Amino acid sequence: MHPEAARTNGREDAELVRLAQEGDAEAFAKLVARYENSIFRLARNITQNAEDAEDVLQETFLKAYEHLGEFRGDSKFYTWLVRIAVNQALMKLRRRKSDRSVSLDETFDTGEETLVREIAVWAEDPEQLYSQEELRRILASAIESLPPIFRTVFALRDIEELSTEETAQILNLSVPAVKSRLLRARLRLREHLTRYFKRKGDDVFAYL
């Protein structure tokens, strides 16, 4: 988002929050309308389940409404809302317990790191071989393969385009920890996509 647009939204949000805190239900409804699509998309990317994302969306705005009086404007309203949504989504994953590959509470080295991986070069430009719809499906599958701790950081930084500092604040992590997890997430995605396209390429070109 353009900085000026972000500042304008911030001022509008502040006024809507003030009115909502004074009991103006319509003002809160405007905040819901402004951010419900973004919150649903974020929840969908974290939970990888549309029904869970709908639940998270409802729970997020319900909790935001219940605790609106506690919002003091120390951060942007959207950042505060995203923090609630992330917490609700991770709670949903804990209850579901479907991803057992990595614990949500697992600790990681918070220092900067350089990971060297062997990444195969795709023989063909994927966009020349697949439709946009197919590429979106492949990417969604790759994101789903990420453990929640990486998927959450990736969703906040690369999909929602929040800053590293905002992501760190929302997840209660240090900035180096966010950078470390984002790097790991991106590398895992590259490995997943490389294996996919290389396998498909081998299958295709074997018959040419």
Sequence-distant (≥ 6) Cβ neighbours of residue 90 within 8 angstroms: 46, 104, 148, 152
pLDDT of residue 130: 54
**What CATH number did the domain enclosing 56 receive?**
1.10.1740.10
69 lies in the same domain as 130: no
Amino acid identity of residue 81, one-letter, is L
Q: What is the pLDDT of residue 116?
A: 38
Residue 165 within a domain: yes
Residue 56 lies in a domain: yes
Residues 88, 89, 95, 101, Cα dihedral to 10°: -140
Q: What is the number of structural domains in the chain?
A: 2
| Mean pLDDT of each 10-residue bin along the chain, 208 residues long | 56 91 93 95 91 93 93 89 94 73 41 39 47 74 88 92 92 92 89 73 39
Question: Does residue 106 sit within a domain?
Answer: no
Mark whether 14 and 74 lie in a shared domain. Answer: yes
Tell whether 176 and 134 lie within a shared domain. yes
Asked if residue 146 and residue 89 are part of one domain, the reply reads no
| 88 within some domain | yes
Reduce the DSSP state of residue 152 to 3 states and report it.
Answer: helix
CATH of residue 132:
1.10.10.10
Phi first, then psi, for residue 29 (nearest 5°) are: -60, -35
Has residue 190 been placed in a domain?
A: yes
pTM over 0.85? The answer is no
Last residue of a domain, one of 78, 96, 114: 96
User: Would residue 107 count as lying in a domain?
Assistant: no
pLDDT at site 35: 95
Domain extent for 63 = 3-96
Residues 18 and 71 in one domain: yes
- Residue 200 to residues 5, 61, 122, 138, 208, Cα–Cα distance (Å): 43, 43, 10, 12, 13
Examine the domain organization and report whether 15 and 82 are in the same domain.
yes
Q: What is the pLDDT of residue 200?
A: 57
Q: Which residue has the tokens 């309203």?
A: 77
- Identity of the residue numbered 85: A
